[in-house]
Structure 1
Amino acid sequence: MTTLLFSVGRSKTDTGASVWGTPFCDNRFCITLSEGEIRAEAGLCVVIPCSFTTSYYFTPQNIVWYKCEPSKQKCSKNNNKTQSGFKGPVSLLEPDVSRRNCSIIVNDLTESDSGSYQLRVNGYLNGRKDGFTFSPRTTVSVKGLTQKPTVMIPPLTEGQQSTLSCTAPGLCSGSVPEISWTWRGAGEKDSHITGNITASRTENLTAVTQRHSSTLTFNSSAEHHGTNVSCKVSFTNNITTEETVTLNVTWFSTVLKNSGCEVQSEVLTCVCISEGFPLPTITWPLLKNHAEYSVITTVSHHTVNSTVTLTVKDHSNTSVECVSSNQNGEVKANLIIQLEMSEQPGT
């Protein structure tokens, strides 16, 4: 079965196009198509480069593209014509037929668009209505969509507003794809980031190419660190593609409330527990005045546990300072010393 894809009349719009290949001529009618198979992916678009020349006595008025069955030697005409100004899946790169540019862009591709394509030019030969069908065909192969969205992540810092961007693959001018965002915490189901703002944008690059993108704006927090954000792009015909990225949020180190000190038989033990990203470093100013002590540090995920042990005979101090720092800054905490009952004054 033969299907007419596109026909268009004369226009004066100039969008420009480029072609390549070796001209094929028949009775002074010549056509230049791309050499070899043109490959594309479902959901996106494909450009079929084409240029033609005609006999001096022939004046072109419109051109018709056909999609032909591989078993057919010649494509026959049917009545499924599309009028000029068509903005659907198929568009001419140069609607002005007098420029002899027959290149087309086919949008919203599906794998069923694979096949061979043939051109016919209609017009007047010596004042009489006539037409010519070029025998060469160009072959298009459409495979499943493998391209993924492009997700851009700026540096993320706790407490600051951040904007992620997601750009759909392809620079096509067909149906506008739907772009959606989802967030997933560790071991959790997909959900949405609370307080987020999304915005979609379509940028016209040329008369027949567009860039589709979406932004996600939210306030970064420590809970977002290590979680996954996915951008999903949905094209027509239920064709989708998705990209997932992991968020790295830098946040100021904090000293947790379960940090503290205690004295037992003149042995002081202090534990300082701190969280942050990048991983913080814990220091003890108290150790500058002591020659003998032990420090044990353990790390779990983004938490540092530092335990210092030393002998003290003076119990006059009521607290010990713990300093936690990373590239974002430092935080100091005074850890209260807890005395055993036997160490309490007056016991």
Structure 2
Amino acid sequence: MKLTAVQHETCLVLIFVLQLWIGSSNGLLLPGGDYDFELRLEKSFITAAAGCAQIPCAFTIPVRVYPVQKIWFRGSPEFPLSPPMVEEQANLMWPLRSPEHECSIILWDFSGHERIEEYGLMLKWGTNETHIYDERITVSYSTAKLNISLNTEALVAGQQTYIYCRFPDLCLGSYPKVTWTGLGSKKHLDVGYPRKMNNYLIYSQQLLYTAAPRDHQAEITCEATFGKNLSANGTMTLTVHSHPQILNSSACSLQKVLLTCVCVSQGVPLPDIHWPLQSNADSNIVRTSDGHITVRSTYTMTVEDLTSISSPVCVSKNKLGQTKMTLPVNINKVKEAA
């Protein structure tokens, strides 16, 4: 059957419309189409808080391009962000305007470098179709550090004390996994307390801890792991005050008329050692210390008769208290030459 000119033209129009419909249903953007790509950013400049930045974002796209993949990039599309750095976050851009979809994210960064970066969003769909939004957002990063603190200036051995690891201005909804290392004594409680403030989360990890004298000047580390294996840590050196103790190695020895007494004591602050022996013009005291928790005092004096002096006593004292010990005397007999 031969078509008239009008019928032929009508068929061409129908074929063209059919091609448009097929192309749009397959997610292909045909030249000359009127497509609605819009990106709405709440801010164009954001200051990152303690290792992360919240970017509220909403976008619109033609229905025909569904589904799409959202790709955030640094600087230009040639530098897409790796998955550990980007975490999608709902309800940052609220309320949404119809027909918007949320593209809000949290950017994680614990590199500790102060710098300014520019980010953009690209969409990808179909076989190899893309759309790059013109809008950009600038993020200013500062050094991200965790803060470990005590509820007192120093711990006291044998007493329970709270140690806090604080994470200021964390991104909303970011609850880290916290681990403590370097603690030699038993920990009793490890509890985290989040508190929301101005769309950010103030997070504090609280540890109830009983220190021992050996923990003095030990380093403890609080490490927080966020989301996809990104972490930050803070370290502090403990100061543990302890009562003075006199070690059993303390003793005296007598050789002929020379009495030598050694008193070894531990404590923080370092103890002062006193010798309440009878005054003697020939006596001498030498004090040494490891600068940590141990002090050693050596007392020498001449005696004609051991019974003429009182029992050797060592007294160790610091601001937490004092202790004393009566030292044993070992008599060293000198062999006479044959």
TM-score interval, normalised by the smaller of the two chains? 0.5 to 0.7
2:193 maps to 201
Aligned-residue offset at 1:220: 1.2
**Aligned equivalent of 1:299, options 286, 289, 308:** 289
Aligned-residue offset at 1:89: 0.9
2:54 maps to 46
Aligned-residue offset at 1:138: 4.8
- Please say if 1:218 is aligned against 2:175: no
2:139 maps to 141
Structure 2: how far apart are the matches of 1:80 and 1:168? Answer: 38
Q: CA RMSD in A?
A: 3.7
**Aligned equivalent of 1:65, options 58, 62, 69:** 58
CA contact under 8 A between 2:273 and 2:315: conserved in structure 1? yes
Q: Which runs of 5+ in 1 are unaligned?
A: 1-30, 49-63, 67-74, 82-87, 98-103, 119-134, 185-191
Aligned-residue offset at 1:114: 5.2
2:24 maps to none
Give secondary structure in 2 for the equivalent of 1:91: coil
2:174 maps to 175
Aligned-residue offset at 1:141: 3.4
Aligned-residue offset at 1:91: 3.1
Aligned-residue offset at 1:259: 0.7
- Please say if 1:165 is aligned against 2:156: no
CA contact under 8 A between 1:39 and 1:141: conserved in structure 2? yes
Aligned-residue offset at 1:239: 1.1
1:18 maps to none
CA contact under 8 A between 2:49 and 2:170: conserved in structure 1? no
- Please say if 1:89 is aligned against 2:89: yes
CA contact under 8 A between 1:179 and 1:213: conserved in structure 2? no
- The 1:109/1:342 distance shift into structure 2, 3 A limit, reads closer
**AA of the residue aligned to 1:115:** Y
1:151 maps to 148
Q: Which has the larger radius of gyration?
A: 2
1:128 maps to none
CA contact under 8 A between 1:109 and 1:142: conserved in structure 2? no
CA contact under 8 A between 1:181 and 1:216: conserved in structure 2? no
Alignment TM-score, normalising by the size of structure 2: 0.63
**AA of the residue aligned to 2:147:** T
Deviations 1:62-98 (A, max 9, x none): xx724xxxxxxxx8556579xxxxxx6143476498x
- The 1:258/1:325 distance shift into structure 2, 3 A limit, reads same
**AA of the residue aligned to 2:156:** T
Aligned-residue offset at 1:278: 1.3
Report the count of equivalent residues. 251
2:323 maps to 331
Structure 2: how far apart are the matches of 1:237 and 1:114? Answer: 22
Structure 2: how far apart are the matches of 1:89 and 1:80? Answer: 19
Instruction: Describe how 1:1-347 pairs up with structure 2 within 5 A.
Output: 37-40=45-48, 44-46=52-54, 65-66=58-59, 77=62, 89-92=89-92, 95=95, 106-107=105-106, 109=108, 115-116=119-120, 137-141=135-139, 146-153=143-150, 154=152, 155-183=154-182, 193-206=185-198, 208-287=199-278, 289-301=279-291, 302-316=293-307, 317=309, 319-341=311-333
Deviations 1:217-259 (A, max 9, x none): 1211112112111111111122110111111101111111111
Q: Which runs of 5+ in 2 are unaligned?
A: 1-39, 69-87, 98-102, 111-116, 123-132
- The 1:80/1:285 distance shift into structure 2, 3 A limit, reads farther
Alignment TM-score, normalising by the size of structure 1: 0.61
Structure 1: how far apart are the matches of 2:231 and 2:195? Answer: 21
Structure 1: how far apart are the matches of 2:91 and 2:256? Answer: 88
Structure 1: how far apart are the matches of 2:169 and 2:49? Answer: 9
Aligned-residue offset at 1:139: 1.6
- The 1:271/1:240 distance shift into structure 2, 3 A limit, reads same
Structure 2: how far apart are the matches of 1:237 and 1:42? Answer: 16
**AA of the residue aligned to 1:170:** D
**AA of the residue aligned to 2:182:** W
Structure 1: how far apart are the matches of 2:187 and 2:41? Answer: 55
- The 1:271/1:91 distance shift into structure 2, 3 A limit, reads same
2:37 maps to none
